[in-house]
Chains A and B, each alone.
Chain A
Amino acid sequence: MIEFRDVGKRFADGTVGLESLSLTAREGEITVLVGPSGCGKTTSLRTVNRMVEPTSGSVHLAGQDVAEADPALLRRGIGYVIQQAGLFPHRRVIDNVATVPVLQGLPRREARARAAEVLERVGLDGAMAQRWPAQLSGGQQQRVGVARALAGDAPVLLMDEPFSAVDPVVRVELQDELLRLQADLGKTILFVTHDIDEAIRLGDRVAVLRVGGRLAQFAPPDELLAAPVDDFVSGFVGRDRGYRRLGFVPATALRLVDLPTRADENGSSGVPGEWTVLLDGAERPAAWLGPDGARHDLGSVYVTDGADAASDGAGTLRGALDAALSSPAGRGVAVDGAGRYRGGVDTDDVLALLDRGAP
């Protein structure tokens, strides 16, 4: 648990980085700090590992005031990941990751063994271990940055816009990876971003900050989307917040409809005058067959279960709506967690659910 108690920071030149921040990041959760540039996100993160000393208030880690800890020892017990990864260019990947265990006093061999384990955890194969950081892509460097932060077995991670320098596709991959790791490891993570989508995707709770580190709202993502406290927050979460919120609404009440299906074989013809789903040998939908007999792309499919956060929109109204709207047939295709055909999603049914409940 990380506890900010009325933390204020006035820099030597008089700039107020933080006015008075009070906030608790719960044990085993991802707490996201989001807000415009210069609002004090980095500053608040750095008060936790004493890279910034507060000028008022205090920060407590597992009940202990960090001001009483030896800074270097404190930092070896807190993982820290930054935007540009900040890898040591003169150390091979494995030795970058082994840095903290070595600082903690582990013999180099054991530190390397530990580093190899962690590299595997973050999805980097053994061949990468002997490379120099300059020989990695941005996304790979970021993974190594995460591995280095995990290698010391710290219960707490500070992440300062760790994924904002990589392209959007890789960013989503890294976010998924983090959620997967977090499901295993249950770290207490303080995550800084200025991307509200990232905040909503990753955060168990999200703190929206204004300039001066003033807390505008601190709530779970769905609450933030459903009930922004003021114009600043609603402006920040964006106009499409209603749609995005559907990503948190389970579609349990949605009844799937039956669609005509055929095995996807050479020359298979559909039901005359109807849109037909072609299934491959493993019962997985492959394509639509139009009433005119031409093949069409499936569009996005609605995954009914396996609601792990990695498959976006699984089991939620947003996933169902996406599938219905992106299908050429006017009805979406639903599949189970293994990708097998389950049924169809009717646009009218989804809209009716929205009308009725919009919980």
Chain B
Amino acid sequence: MRAFGYEIDELVVDHVLLAVVPVLLGLVIALPLGWWAHRSRGARRVLVPLSGALYTIPSLALIVFIPVLLATPILSPLNVLVTLTIYAVALLVRSVAEALDSVSDTVTTAAVAVGYRPTGLLLGVQLPLAVPVLTAGVRVASVTTFSMVTVGALVGVQSLGTLMTDGFQQDYTAMVVTGIVGSIALAFVFDALWLGLGRSLTPWSRARAGV
């Protein structure tokens, strides 16, 4: 589909990739860090404030600095990916720690008592039970990332944000609005997907006595 001189489909695909990949990568990185923060008071005291501090760095500054650090070309989408992954990690470390905290001690004690080793305990008991709280954290990270992708357009990395920056330059309101509405709509769609995924992983959480 072409509009405003752009292949809109391509912009949508780029936008989704730039938003979803950082959330997934962020989750993979935040899982061990959050687990560490959950286990150790000392680690928590460092990791949680540190990830909070990461979040205060202006996104544009990061996008511009990453090429210097990683020696990537200035226009590479990688810069945006890395930046957004850092933000996702910053948001998710705390979520993972809190999600693991939310699992009842009685249940983890019982799991240890029947003979789970630490890895089995994490994968078989703690993580599955942490899914409801974790899903809430991932949804926040996802919505945030979808809106931040548009910043990449400022340094020439394509997404629906491109419609905003170009439309603004050309004083073309319909183009700007399309960019805004499109990126919000995408954020909503993926929010619903995360919500659905979280629910499908936790049929037990909707079970009530007497059902």
Contacts and interface: CB of A to CB of B under 8 A. Distances in A.
B113 A75 contact: yes
A135 B116 contact: no
A152 B202 CA distance: 27
Contacts of B45: none
Given A90-B128, A90-B202, A132-B204, A82 B109 contact: yes
A89 B107 contact: yes
Pick the most buried of A73, A74, A76, A86: most chain B CB atoms within 10 A of its CB. Answer: A86
B200 interface: no
A90 B200 CA distance: 12
Contacts of B170: none
A134 B204 contact: yes
Interface string B109-123: 111111111001000
B114 A103 contact: yes
A82 B109 CA distance: 9
B116 A86 contact: no
Given A84-B106, A88-B107, A103-B115, 16 more contacts: A49-B113, A75-B112, A82-B106, A85-B110, A86-B113, A88-B110, A89-B205, A90-B128, A90-B202, A99-B114, A103-B116, A103-B120, A132-B207, A134-B208, A134-B209, A135-B208
Interface in B195-211: 202-205, 207-211
A100 B115 contact: yes
A80 B114 contact: yes
Contact of B110 (A72, A86, A103, A152): A86
A-B pairs, 3 with minimum CB distance: A86-B110, A76-B115, A132-B207
Interface of A: 49, 51, 72-76, 80, 82, 84-91, 99-100, 103, 131-137, 148, 152
Nearest to B128: A90
Contact of A89 (B112, B116, B204): B204
B180 interface: no
Given A72-B117, A90-B128, A51 B204 contact: no
B125 interface: yes
A91 B110 CA distance: 13
20 contacts: A51-B112, A72-B115, A73-B115, A74-B115, A76-B114, A82-B110, A82-B113, A84-B106, A87-B107, A87-B110, A88-B129, A89-B204, A90-B125, A90-B204, A99-B114, A103-B116, A133-B204, A134-B207, A134-B208, A137-B209
Contacts of B114: 75-76, 80, 99-100, 103, 148, 152
Contacts of B203: 132
Contacts of A131: 207
Contacts of A76: 114-115
B209 A135 contact: yes
Given A90-B129, A90-B202, A135-B207, A75 B106 contact: no
B100 to A, nearest CB: 14
Contacts of A133: 204
Interface size class on chain B is 20 to 34
Pick the most buried of B109, B115, B205: most chain A CB atoms within 10 A of its CB. Answer: B115
A192 to B, nearest CB: 13
Nearest to A138: B209
B125 A86 contact: no
Contacts of A135: 207-211
Contacts of A90: 125, 128-129, 202, 204
Nearest to B203: A132
Nearest to B103: A89
B171 to A, nearest CB: 55
Nearest to B110: A86
A291 B210 CA distance: 49
B208 A72 contact: no
Given A90-B204, A132-B207, A135-B207, A51 B115 contact: no
Interface in B150-182: none
B82 to A, nearest CB: 35
A49 B125 CA distance: 20
A102 to B, nearest CB: 9
Pick the most buried of B109, B117, B209: most chain A CB atoms within 10 A of its CB. Answer: B209
A134 B111 CA distance: 17
A87 B202 CA distance: 16
B87 to A, nearest CB: 30
